[in-house]
Amino acid sequence: GADGGLGLPVLDRLLKDGWRVAAVIHSPDKAAALAARFPGAGLRVVAADLTAEDAVQDLFAGIDALAAVVHLAGGFAAAHTLGETGADAFDRMIRLNTRATFLVLRAAMEALKQRSGGGAIVTIGARPAVHPGAENATYAASKAAVISLTLTAAEEGRASGVRANVLVPNVI
């Protein structure tokens, strides 16, 4: 999500604050452009499909000294009522938002629990997850699962000093 509407300002802030960042984007074609936007700033751009288990495992295996994870990747589909939404559209939202978050949280928790001093995780939910409207059921359901997964990670990580928080914005 590093090259998205929320990803770019978050990436900019992290780099300005001196973080070394492995920024994940979905499209390998955009990697060079993102790297060029932040020259010499401690940035490594990685193209990966965060819905693919092997890709997420490889991503985390390639990061040394992990201290924090900001998981911004996800997606939104045009709003429809339940009756207008096909099973494929539902599966797409679950895959983009819930599955990606699950895989990232699982890998992050494993890495951060082993780190002395723990670490931090931030994910992005959405207001419709807690206040759904009549025409965004699949998106709201997928983001509600993101919230639940993150709250579970917070409980699981507590004993190891791993904090997990979810932001729940309205519109980005």
Phi, psi of 167 (to 5 degrees): -90, 140
What are the backbone angles phi and psi of residue 79, rounded to the nearest 5°? -70, 135
Say which DSSP state 98 is in: I
DSSP lists the bridge partners of residue 45 as: 23
Which residue numbers are catalytic? 139
Are residues 143 and 128 in contact, defined by beta-carbon separation less than 8 angstroms? yes
